[in-house]
Amino acid sequence: MSNELRKPLISGNWKMNHNHFEAIQCVQKLAYLLTKEDFSAVDVTIHPPFTDLRSVQTLIDADELRFILGAQHCHEADSGAFTGEVSAQFLAKLHVRYVIVGHSERRQIFGETDEVVQQKLATIQKHGMTPILCVGETLSDREAGRTHEKVLGQVRSALVKRTVEQVKSMVIAYEPIWAIGTGKTATAEDAQHIISAIRQEVALVTSGPAASAIRLQYGGSVKASNIGEIMSQPDIDGVLVGGASLDAAEFARICQRSQRSWG
């Protein structure tokens, strides 16, 4: 599928930032800055901390905002003795539609394995939500020439138990770990090269139709100043934005410049 036919998906991952008061203010400002035409051209998901979800959901529903509510993480089990964790079925009740899974910080800091990522994908889709699967390589992987091995291995492991229809509805975000929060980004050509390889791997693991349908994002120090170059690449369908999404004005510019460079 060519990028002219694929609607961009712009996702803001707030990580452990913004209390629920700040979250409400940020969403209200973002809603003021984005127009109906912007929302017709791009899909915008917002992924606040767990403590903000109910406040943001209530605001979106009450004011009929066109933001799509997302979560940053969930547990693989529906319920049980998992103190401090959150179930996917709880998220679904809050009208959460997208859930980030396998983010590099979850993998590196909290020891989330490929097997756990597999399980989370299954439970997210079981409850009718869309997973944003994160894959990426460290600086040492990159310097050792293991980028493809690492990234495509994560893709294969995640998708091996998914059906073609399940894969079609998913999102995969390529986030080079060495670029997250460092101010560095992969060049647009480098990002396109890896994301194109991911699409080819999806076709090998599942099917060509799944590879055509799946949305592929880039994440890693995305800003309004570099979004045009990133989004001009044919296989990049959107971006997963970290720090820049905390500033409503900057995130609005990213959303707007994504659509202007599209096609």
Q: Which residues are catalytic?
A: 103, 175
Secondary structure class of 237 (helix, strand, coil): coil
Residues 151, 99: Cα–Cα separation, whole Å: 20
Residues 5, 243: Cα–Cα separation, whole Å: 29
State how far the alpha carbon of 93 is from the alpha carbons of 17, 24, 53, 253, in Å.
23, 20, 11, 31
Residues 170, 205: Cα–Cα separation, whole Å: 14
Counting every residue, how long is the chain?
Answer: 263
Transcribe 151-173 into DSSP letters. Answer: HHHHHHHHHTT--HHHHHT-EEE
Tokens of 123: 């439970």
Place of tokens 């120090």: 221
Residues 138, 151: Cα–Cα separation, whole Å: 10
Q: What angle do CA 232, 41, 53 make, to 5 degrees?
A: 105
From 165, 162, 110, select the one nearest 133 (Cα to Cα): 162
Tokens of 178: 């060495």
From 94, 157, 91, select the one nearest 126 (Cα to Cα): 91
